[in-house]
Amino acid sequence: MKEFQLAPAPEDERLTQQVGGIDQTGAPIDTRVVIEQPLTLYLNGQEIVTMMTIGDHPDCLAVGYLLNQNMLRPDDELTGIDYDEELSVVVVRTARKTDFEEKLQKKTLTSGCAQGTAFGDIMESFDEIKLPGDATLKTSWIYELSRKINQRPSLYLAAGAIHGCVLCHQDRPLIYMEDVGRHNAVDKIAGWMFLNGESAAGKIFYTTGRLTSEMVIKTVHMGIPILISRSGFTAWGVDLARQAGLTLIGRAKGKRFICLAGEDRLIFDAAINSDIGDDD
């Protein structure tokens, strides 16, 4: 599999703008800042949600959001995805008739940036998902993924105020998405996988954000058995990971990491004093 089949485009002028200010000495400066904008999502004519996003890959974001909210089924047939950049609207159309009026009344603001929203029945299918038990994770893969992802040009490096998520296979980063909210970046990858028929088998999910309950639920819902972050954990996130059999790796920086769930998948094949690059 080719590395970085899809990656951030920090040079895209639609995603950032120059803003003037002063630095710590009072000297005038110009710096790049990320542009966030609303995107309203419709499913078959029904308004679902308005999200704050950087605006790239609206088709992936829309489809992934609907999948992770159980509004779109894995076997659904999409008949169209229409995006109007001027109106900031994306419409997903399916062959199956849908009506989520009741579900839309039950929603919870999550801990995600830009006010992520989860609907009340999101846990309905969580207990039924069985993650593959034969998945493995070599420590050398963790080190290599951290090095490659952290060195890749990105909006985060160019302007900050952004989260990234990466779909990986072994030590190879495949799809790298960014957004102002980590939940949006997750949804973009889920949508890309659906639209491209990409299986979750043998995949690893890497995120720059915190390992919260929302991150764990979405990763499990996508069927990916391993979740890695350079950030830390929440207690509920750990509890849910253990319940689902998800391998949960946090604080992965350089050659250090902490595993709080699914440690049986780990294969310690690289000593911490090896010559694999250290990002610290």
Task: Check whether 116 has a pLDDT greater than 90.
Answer: no
Task: For residue 166, give the amino acid letter.
Answer: V
Mind listing the pLDDT tens digit for each residue in 96-111? 999 988 778 766 445 4
pLDDT in tens, 178-231: 999 889 999 999 999 999 999 999 999 999 999 999 999 999 999 999 999 999
What value does the mean pLDDT take over residues 46-69? 95
Residue 77 DSSP label: P
| Architecture in CATH of 37-122 | Roll (3.10)
Task: Measure the CA–CA gap between 83 and 102, rounded to whole angstroms.
Answer: 26
Q: List CB contacts of 67: < 8 A, sequence separation 6 or more.
A: 74, 187, 190, 191, 194, 221, 222
pLDDT of residue 104: 80
pLDDT at residue 1 in the model: 79
β partners of residue 6: 175
Compute CA distances 9 → 6, 18, 56, 176, 178, whole Å.
9, 16, 10, 10, 9
- What's the confidence (pLDDT) of residue 115? 46
* In the predicted structure, residue 276 carries a pLDDT above the cut 70: no
Q: What torsion, rounded to 10 degrees, do the Cα atoms 159, 165, 169, 174 define? A: -50
How far is CA 187 from its chain centroid?
Answer: 6
Q: What is the pLDDT of residues 257-267, one digit of tens each?
A: 999 999 999 99
Task: Considering the chain, tell me which residue range(s) the CATH 3.10.20.10 domain(s) occupy.
Answer: 37-122
Coarse DSSP helix, strand, coil percentages of the chain, rounded to the nearest 5 percent: 25, 35, 40
Query: Does residue 112 carry a pLDDT above 80?
Result: no
- What percentage of the chain exceeds 90 in pLDDT? 80
Instruction: Measure CA 153 to chain center.
Output: 17
pLDDT at 106: 64
Write the burial class of residue 92 (CB in 10 Å: 0-12 exposed, 13-18 middle, 19+ buried).
buried
Helix 213-221 and helix 182-195, axial crossing angle in degrees, nearest 10: 0
Superfamily for domain range 137-267: Cytidine Deaminase, domain 2 (3.40.140.10)
- How far is it, in rounded angstroms, from Cα 193 to Cα 250? 24
Least confident of 2-6, 24-28, 98-102, 271-275: 271-275
Rounded Cα–Cα distance for residues 7 and 224 (Å): 20
141-181 pLDDT, tens digit per residue, is 999 999 999 999 999 999 999 999 999 999 999 999 999 98
- DSSP helix/strand/coil, 18: strand
What is the number of residues in the chain? 280
Span 224-241, average pLDDT: 97
Rounded Cα distance between 194 and 222, Å, is 10
Containing H/E element for 60? Answer: helix 58-68
CA 203 to chain centre: 13
Per-residue confidence (pLDDT) for residue 102, from 0 to 100? 77
pLDDT of residue 122: 65
Interval 119-135: pLDDT, tens: 556 676 788 888 988 99
Residues of the chain with CATH 3.40.140.10: 137-267
Please check the confidence at residue 114 and state whether its pLDDT lies above 70.
no
